[in-house]
Amino acid sequence: MRLYLLVLLSLPMLLACSSVSHSPAAELNTSADVRELTVLYSNDEHGWMEGREPGRGAADILGLWREKEGYSEDGPFLLLSGGDHWTGPAISTWFEGEGMVEVMNTMGYDASAIGNHEFDFGLDNLEQRVRQANFPYLAANIQWKASETLPSELGILAFTMIEINDLSVGIIGLSTTSTPSTTNPINVVDLAFMEYEPVLRSTVTQLAVADPDLIFVVAHVCMAALRPLAVAVADLNISLMGGGHCNELVAEKMGETILLESNGHFRSYARAHFEYDLRRDSLINSSFSTEKNEAGSSDESVAQLVAKWRAATEAELSAVLGFSSREYQANDDRLQRAVVESWLQIDSTADMAINNRYALRAPFPRGEVTLADVVGLLPFENTIYAVELSGANVLQVLAEGQNPFVTGLIRIENDWLLAKTGRLIDTNETYRVLINSFMYEGGAGYNAIANFDSVGFDTEIHYRQPLVNWLLEQESSASQPLALP
Ligand SMILES: [Zn+2]
């Protein structure tokens, strides 16, 4: 009898699964009480609306979702993100994420976790972006330190309820507890990032009042933490946990919970498909996979938006950032110093910043300095990495490569003093050091750095951006031009 029931139940499921489309037409294959829902999941988009490679951007993935998944805005689909939307290439970073939210609105995202990089441009910017979005930004575990309440003033919600295809879905957000050290710490100084499990338990209790059919979690949390969390809260009947932050490609099941993560930058997506029996009030089938963003035909409306932001970025490159009293050659120490000192502005916990000697590639002009000049000076798509190095490691890095340029340290004959303390560098002490991604990846002979700190943190902040910010802050003019010290 039990076997017979299983066959009866699984036959329509097989039909539904083998169908290429999950459009409402596919429901004809299932019983009248069964509802389908497909989750399409991305994370760590990081401003790459144009994609890392041609044909793998936001317009392409949306085209692929329409063709391969049968996605339509009013169909039984949820588009969910694990957060970190806007820090990345100039097309997004230069406009502090406005273009990315516009693109994700047009794509039809339904909800997102808040990533650590959502704080990169400050709380006012975060609030602006959250209000601009047609979808909620969720984080149940962020509190004001002072009041121990959710920062709802910023538009942040702990959870949302979505009614779709006769199903009520409760979606809870989580932000990484590492946020205070993985964005500029100053931006989140008033906020606390609480441990996941207790918050998840209390939020599920709140959700229970609304009696959701399905509970999902979107978390800007790496799998190393999300997997044990899924096991620890197995009793909460969470059907899906989407991760983020570590750019992993994951589709798997821990107990009854599906775990998803896409590897970021719209290179791939993860999907989960659910079949829920309304009459029995239970999930009867689910499946999951990861898919590459390849061979989709570009969605016209998103492609037009991306083109608009590309044009705006090009136009902005002619922006005048300041005025210089003289020309500086690329190898001028004063110019090198201005670059590395600007990096220290993004991370007040950093002790020093080190740039490879030949990183600067064009002279800094006399008179008007435009963004195009800074792009020429620092032309690579490098980001700034924060690494933890012992004093001994630091001394080795300084002795290797090609005579790097360093700030935060003062050289007196053969000794190095830490500028913050005025004391000799301690070979056993750990220091937080900012470098560029090229060096971390072993460029210019710096192979040792990634060995010293194998989990170096990519701030995702372009190595040019702090200098741009610094130039603007100087408010120099033709009559009061800048002179680099
Ligand atoms: Zn992150």
**Band (151; pLDDT cuts 50, 70, 90):** very high
Q: What's the CA-to-centroid distance between 129 and ligand 1, angstroms? A: 17
All CATH 3.60.21.10 domain ranges of the chain, comma separated, are 21-312
Looking at residue 276, its pLDDT comes to 97
Looking at residue 18, its pLDDT comes to 33
Q: What's the CA-to-centroid distance between 87 and ligand 1, angstroms? A: 10
Closest by CA position to 139, among listed 125, 127, 152, 153: 152
Q: What's the CA-to-centroid distance between 367 and ligand 1, angstroms? A: 39
10 Å CB burial of residue 68 (0-12, 13-18, 19+) is: middle
Render pLDDT for 278-301 as a digit per residue (tens, 0 to 9). 999 999 999 999 999 998 899 999
Report how far apart, in Å, the C-alpha atoms of 210 and of each of 80, 160, 161, 205 are: 21, 11, 8, 10
Q: What's the CA-to-centroid distance between 406 and ligand 1, angstroms? A: 27
* Residue predicted with more confidence, 380 or 94: 94
Q: What's the CA-to-centroid distance between 362 and ligand 1, angstroms? A: 32
Q: What's the CA-to-centroid distance between 438 and ligand 1, angstroms? A: 20
Q: What's the CA-to-centroid distance between 219 and ligand 1, angstroms? A: 10
Q: Taking residues 180-195, report their average pLDDT.
A: 85
Is CATH 3.50.50.60 correct for 21-312? no
Q: What's the CA-to-centroid distance between 284 and ligand 1, angstroms? A: 34
Render pLDDT for 442-452 as a digit per residue (tens, 0 to 9). 877 788 899 99
Say how far apart CA 467 and CA 328 lie, in whole Å.
15
Q: Taking residues 215-224, report their average pLDDT.
A: 98
Q: Taking residues 381-391, report their average pLDDT.
A: 92
Residue 278 · residue 269 · CB < 8 Å? no
Q: Taking residues 21-43, report their average pLDDT.
A: 72
Q: What's the CA-to-centroid distance between 169 and ligand 1, angstroms? A: 25
Q: What is the third-level CATH fold of 319-474?
A: 5'-nucleotidase;  domain 2 (3.90.780)
The β-bridge partners of 191 are 144
Q: What percent of the chain has pLDDT over 70?
A: 93
Q: Taking residues 162-190, report their average pLDDT.
A: 89
pLDDT above 80 (res 8): no
pTM: 0.74
How many C-beta atoms surround the C-beta of residue 287 within 10 A? 16
The per-residue DSSP string of 401-464 comes to TT--EEESEEEETTEEEETTT-SBPPTTSEEEEEEEHHHHTTGGG-HHHHHH-TT-EEEEEETT
Average pLDDT, the chain: 90
Q: What's the CA-to-centroid distance between 275 and ligand 1, angstroms? A: 31
How many C-beta atoms surround the C-beta of residue 67 within 10 A? 14
Residue 215 · residue 204 · CB < 8 Å? yes
Q: What's the CA-to-centroid distance between 303 and ligand 1, angstroms? A: 26
* Residue predicted with more confidence, 184 or 138: 138
Render pLDDT for 101-110 as a digit per residue (tens, 0 to 9). 999 999 999 9
b vs e for 195-218, b when ≥16 Cβ sit within 10 Å of the residue's Cβ?
A: ebeebbeebbeebeeeebbbbbbb
Looking at residue 22, its pLDDT comes to 39
Q: What's the CA-to-centroid distance between 184 and ligand 1, angstroms? A: 12
pLDDT above 80 (res 302): yes
pLDDT above 70 (res 471): yes
* Residue predicted with more confidence, 318 or 272: 272
Q: What's the CA-to-centroid distance between 260 and ligand 1, angstroms? A: 15
Q: What's the CA-to-centroid distance between 119 and ligand 1, angstroms? A: 10
Q: What's the CA-to-centroid distance between 328 and ligand 1, angstroms? A: 37
Q: Taking residues 457-478, report their average pLDDT.
A: 94
Say how far apart CA 463 and CA 119 lie, in whole Å.
18
Tokens linked to 477: 């003019």
Q: Taking residues 28-55, report their average pLDDT.
A: 88
Render pLDDT for 128-141 as a digit per residue (tens, 0 to 9). 999 999 999 999 99
Q: What's the CA-to-centroid distance between 175 and ligand 1, angstroms? A: 9
Show Cβ contacts of residue 467 under 8 Å, excluding neighbours closer than 6 positions.
Answer: 338, 339, 342, 374, 377, 378
Q: What's the CA-to-centroid distance between 374 and ligand 1, angstroms? A: 27
All CATH 3.90.780.10 domain ranges of the chain, comma separated, are 319-474
pLDDT above 70 (res 142): yes
